[in-house]
Each structure stands twice: as structure tokens, then as C-alpha cells.
Amino acid sequence: MAAQLKDFFDTALVQRLGASLRAVHPTFDERAFRRRATDGLDALELLDRGRHLMRAMHAGLPARYEDAIDVIERSLGPVGNIDAVSGMAPFFYLPHTMFVAEHGLAHPARSLDAMHAITQRFSCEFAIRPFLEQHRELTLARLDGWVTDPSPHVRRLVSEGMRPRLPWAARVRWLIEDPEPGLARIARLVDDESETVRRSVANHLNDVAKDHPARAVEIARAWVRVPAREKTVRHALRTLIKRGDAGALEVLGVSSARPECEVRGAITPARVKRGGEVRIDATITTAAPLDAVIDLVVHYVKARGQTSAKVFKWTRASLAPGAALALTRRLSLEERTTRKHHPGEHRVEVQINGTRFPLGAFVLR
């Protein structure tokens, strides 16, 4: 059986974490920490394991927050390469970020100093949210300085930490209602030398688009005038493109008018069991030249029998009159934590520049 992400926080990691703290704070009771940290650990999921280790750290560190966070800072390992980091290794510092978020709110200036250091090992995008909520002006002032920080990890935190709809993070209501403070700061990062920072900028604008689509399109229209920003703009508009938003399509240089084309195809097999897959073939022909953004739409059956459309990016293509564009895609129906499959007829469509064309259906048994 494949290892689960939560298993990263195991007994070996507990030993490493305890050793790193004792190395800089000799009175840290490493044995007691290991006992607390491993007690009940196996029953917990990923984030709860991180929180469990954070509480074990807190029990063994100095009672005074300033002293405890000093130990944590001195225990940090080397900074990683932001554009090369992959895998679970940075999660070693998840408990450290949780420590600041849970125990540092009464000491905002010192906690922001600590986040500056910790985020260069593991992003403090979750930890900074309560500080944006409870210490808004102080945190924004610090973020202003971080926009030009030498560390790309820190610059990324400016954008990622202020994302209005950061996945799995606590909502900061004012960031959703008023995107302007975030937009002002990502405007200074859109040309950042780090691809990872620019990716965060695109994700930030994509979040804004979910609640303020016209404002997001306005920003994208201004940004796309610089050719080097095209990739960032495409990624930032992905949600609006899937919705068929006319303004977003216009920014990418395509028309939102209903295209004069014909879509034919096949879905095989017509009946499939959960855990299997279907092959989707589509052929598109057009009567006039067409610059097309093409997406796949699957209407998944939900638990109560209703359906919900999921749009998948497919391709972008330029079609000549009379020419046929053949596309193929395989759709997995394996169970995932993010999607449970239910039996019934699943309709399939091809979306071209925001207009949907029926392709067929398959039945999930």
C-alpha cells in the first residue's frame, strides 16, 4: 500500500525534531518530548499530526514566548531553493509555523520576525492569516517591506499569505471583500525573477476573479500588454476561462461569440465501473478561421442524483476552415479524497471559447 502523506510525521521525524531543539537548548527534555509527541500520533491525520507535535514542543520549551521562539529560530536548518523544493521534506517545519500562529498573536512584531525566518524553510502562508485578521496594519506594513526582500520565499509569502481564497486556510473576510490591498502588493511582484513567486501572483489574481471578476479582468488586461507576463495572465484567468467569461477570453485574444463549428466524438466504453476509465475522442471542424480555447466538461453525478459540472483544461488551437482537429483524453474514475464517484449517467461536453457542445455520455455502474 502506498504511503500516506500523514505518515511523514512518524517516530523518526519526532526524534529529529527533538534533537534539533535540544541541540540549541540543552535543557530541552528530549525524552519527554518524544513521549508526548508519539502518544496518539498514529490516529491523527496530516494537519492534526503537525498540531500535535507543536503542542508537544510547547510543553517542553520555555514558558515565555520570546524565549521559546528564540529556541525555535535557532533550531532551523538551512534555507532551501524555492524553485527546486519538492516532496514532503519542508513539512518538517509545519509544527513551527503552527507554534507562531497559536502562541504568538500577543507578540505580533516578534512573531512576524520569526515568520520571516521560518517561511524560508516552509511557507507561513497559513500562520500569517490570524495576524492579518487581528493585527492588520502592522502586518501589512511588514509585508510592504517583504515585497523587495532578497529571499524569494519571503516575497512569495506576501502574495500567498494574502490570497483571498487560499486553499485549506482560514478565511480572512476583509481580503475577500476588498482585494485592493492584495492587488497593490502583487502588482509589485508580477515581474519577480522567481517563477514560484510569479505563480503565486497568478493564483492570487485567480482567487480575486472568483469574487470580483471584472476587476480581475481589468488587472489582467493591463498586465498582458507586457509579453513576458502572458503565462502569468493565462494562469490567473483560468477560472474565468472555464466559466466562459467574455472579458477573460478577450484578454487572451479570442472571441466569446458562438463559434461556427461542428463537434463529433465518441466515449468508450459506454458503461464503466468505478475505478476504471473512459476514453473521450472529439473531432472539431470549423467553417471559418477559429482561435479556440478548448475545455472538457464532465457532469458528475452527486450523492443525491443531481449533477455538477467540472471543467478540465484541454488545449488551445488555431483551426483553419474545413480542417479537422482530433483530440483524445482519458478520464480516470478512481476514488479520490477530493472526489467521490456515484453511479448514473455522466454527460460530457466540449467547451469552445465558452460555448458548450454536447459530445455524449457514459454510465458509471
Give the pLDDT score at 314: 96
> Do 292 and 353 touch, CB atoms closer than 8 A?
yes
Of 62, 60, 65, the C-alpha closest to 14 is 60
The confidence score (pLDDT) of residue 272 equals 96
Domain chopping of the chain, boundaries:
62-251, 261-364
* Whole-prediction pTM: 0.89
Q: What is the pLDDT of residue 1?
A: 36
Q: Which fold has domain 261-364?
A: Immunoglobulin-like (2.60.40)
CA torsion 211→314→218→230, rounded to 10°? 130
Give the model's pLDDT for residue 87: 78
pLDDT the model gives residue 5: 84
CB burial class (10 A; 0-12, 13-18, 19+) of residue 63? Answer: exposed
- Side chain identity at 329, as an amino acid letter? R
- Stretch (H or E) spanning 328: strand 324-332
Averaged pLDDT, groups of 10, the chain, 365 residues long: 76 96 97 97 94 97 98 93 74 97 98 98 97 98 98 98 95 96 98 97 98 98 97 97 95 93 96 95 95 96 94 95 95 86 96 96 96
User: Taking the CA atoms of the chain, what radius of gyration do you get in angstroms?
Assistant: 24
In this structure, the strands spanning 277-286 and 261-268 are antiparallel
Q: What is the CATH number of domain 62-251?
A: 1.25.40.290
